[in-house]
Chain A
Amino acid sequence: MEENSVTPPLNDISNDKVANDAFALQIKNKSISLPNGKVNQQYCIPFTFEQLGIEDINDFWFDGLENIGLKYNPDTSEISGNPTVAGDHKIKLSIKRKDWTENKPIFERELVLVINHDPKSLWKEIPTPTDTEYYKPDSAKQFLKVEASTGFLKFGKEFRKDIVVASQRGRSHAHEGKARDDDFGVAYDKGNQWYIMSVADGAGSAKSSRRGSEIVCKTFVEVCQSQLSTQHENFEHLIKEFSKETSDANRKKLGDTLYSIVGAGVFKAYKNIEEEAQKSGKPIKDFSTTLIVSICKKFKFGWFVGAFWVGDGAIGIYNKETQFLKLLGESDSGEFAGQTRFLTMPEITQPAELYRRLRFDIVPDFTALILMTDGISDPKFETDANLMKIEKWNELWTDLLQMVTFADDNELAAGQLLKWLDFWSPGNHDDRTIAILY
């Protein structure tokens, strides 16, 4: 040090004082920081004075580590342990210089060691007050059992696919005692044998979106039921024609009829939100919701699946055996997370846009037709590109099989699916809804 080089020779005592003062200053000004830790997560960091560039140390010790579950190990030169207490902890570092003897100063430095909570332990589960406007239960489930048909003299018994649905309020809502914004609706018509499914995710920022999602799911199912009851014969005829010959003309006729059924359901869903907005004197925006719907039926030549999708989430036909995957539309996502489109946006219900979002296909069979809100697609697929990857759907299906028994007429599946929805994924605590036809 330059200052030392010009220091005049002094006697031992004052020489010692100068050295001590310089050392004290060095300790005071040195940037010494301990990385943050987390409760119940192994903490282990090396600590030496060499790494800090401080020399001439005889001994040092910490006060305040033990009571938070940590200790310094001189053999390994590590501070380690399993932190038990969250907070900004003041740790006292005491240091003796190399030629320390009784009555010589011990140098001290206060350090702050931050131990974070384990986020899991901070989530609160506050039930939604039942007097909340547009109250709905924090979770819901349904098993729509479609019993096997029995043929002549009980021969040729044919199993029929069932629908299982579960919807769970996200932790971010539970933490604040706010209601679930997601919703769903399903139906099966025994007469014409059509399945109808819908899931919707009310926008987190829109005040009455939980009502929006409820209206659209319910409306869609009702309208489709009534449309199918009057149109199913003509519609099924067009499906058969299309299965024989996938010409553009046949595709157009079938698409137009699908539009008059599914499109009508979606449009009426929007109109009913408009009506609710007028009745309650609230802006339509307050009811913002996404919507994913499907209608399907089994034919001799395979399954017809029609769909409409606006917003995030996903809908896909998945076949585990043949490794077939078909995504029935595209996810609407913006440049930032959480940005998407809603049914309530004026451009969505324009006829051309509505038509553009319709999808249909005929497939031989499938393991599952899955509709889900972004509370599930975000943690399980992460990106839009991953929605197209069969591996990701395989992972999802394997994961589901861990907890859900997809056996014919297994009514317990609804409860199992609801339990599955509780899976843990950091940063993903949105409402979760999934509807599966299997």
Chain B
Amino acid sequence: MRRLPVYILIQTSGAMRGEPIESIKVGLEAMVASLRQDPFALESVYMSLITFNRTPEQLLPLTELENLQIPTIQQPTSAGTHLGEALEFLCKKVEAEVQLSTPDRKGDWSPLLFIMCDGRASDIQLFNQILPEVKRRNFGSIIACSVGSKTDVENLKKITDQIVSLDTTDSSTFRQFFKWVSASVSIGNRSIGATSDLVLPPPPPEVHTVI
């Protein structure tokens, strides 16, 4: 069976404290519930959840949707936003967890990455160093969602050209976003092949495309 690895990277530093992180939790639950309604996702999606502030942490190693239970995301306390370190950590996880095709083994679908953060990187030097590494992982698609009022979109643009921003950080907006994410994941399952660009469904009105 071929797996579709989905990585979700969430910033949990001080800026996300309160409503944003609560909304993300609600959104994640809604997304998983909706993916569970999709037979293709049930048979192929493997999901990993990585949070980061001063240090990155993999709350959920790559787990098949069928057995997945959403872990508890703690309220942020730490101040640092080490986006560079988080991406470096992510690359290592992808390296270890995603299977490439060999003559004797069927490879995974190319992985999808969703990043939710304010785009700021306290470790800007490492961040710039790690960007080529991220590109080398050949993600089927990378979608960045800028959260918060003081975002650094320029940084996000270095990671991907698919950037969305949310009007507000209440739970219904996040639910819309994650619903869209799950639709994108469902499509990611089927449309990889002739082209490397994933054609995503149009985002809902609450989600704005940045560029």
Contact = CB atoms under 8 A, between A and B. Distances in A.
Contact of A206 (B42, B44, B195): B195
Contacts of A117: 36-37, 39, 42
A314 to B, nearest CB: 14
B194 A342 contact: yes
Nearest to A112: B69
A289 B44 CA distance: 24
B202 interface: no
B69 A33 contact: yes
A426 B43 contact: yes
A122 B36 CA distance: 10
B106 A382 contact: yes
Interface of B: 1-2, 33, 36-40, 42-44, 66-69, 100-110, 138, 140, 189-195, 199
A335 B101 contact: yes
Contacts of A342: 194
A54 B44 CA distance: 37
A336 B110 contact: yes
A172 B199 CA distance: 17
B192 A119 contact: no
Interface in A185-203: 203
Interface string A25-43: 0000000010110100000
B152 to A, nearest CB: 31
A383 B99 CA distance: 13
Given A36-B67, A336-B101, 18 more contacts: A122-B42, A175-B39, A204-B194, A335-B100, A335-B138, A336-B108, A336-B110, A337-B107, A337-B108, A338-B109, A338-B192, A338-B193, A339-B110, A344-B194, A384-B101, A384-B103, A426-B1, A427-B1
Interface residues of A, number: 42
Given A36-B69, A336-B138, A203 B36 contact: no
Contacts of A33: 69
A179 to B, nearest CB: 13
> SS class of chain B's interface: helix, strand, loop or mixed?
loop
Contacts of A169: none
B49 to A, nearest CB: 15
A243 interface: no
A158 to B, nearest CB: 41
Contacts of B38: 122
Contacts of A116: 36, 42, 66
A399 interface: no
> SS class of chain A's interface: helix, strand, loop or mixed?
loop
Interface of A: 33, 35-36, 38, 86, 88, 114, 116-117, 119-120, 122-123, 171-172, 175, 203-206, 209, 285, 288, 333-340, 342, 344, 378, 382-385, 426-429
A205 B195 contact: yes
B109 to A, nearest CB: 5
A148 to B, nearest CB: 42
A123 B183 CA distance: 16
Contact of A429 (B40, B69, B191, B199): B40
A334 B44 contact: no
Contact of B190 (A35, A204, A339, A344): A204
Across the A-B interface, give the 6 residue pairs with the lowest CB-CB distance, nearest first. A203-B194, A288-B194, A122-B39, A427-B1, A119-B39, A205-B191
A115 to B, nearest CB: 10
Contacts of B33: 88
B87 to A, nearest CB: 20
Contacts of A382: 106
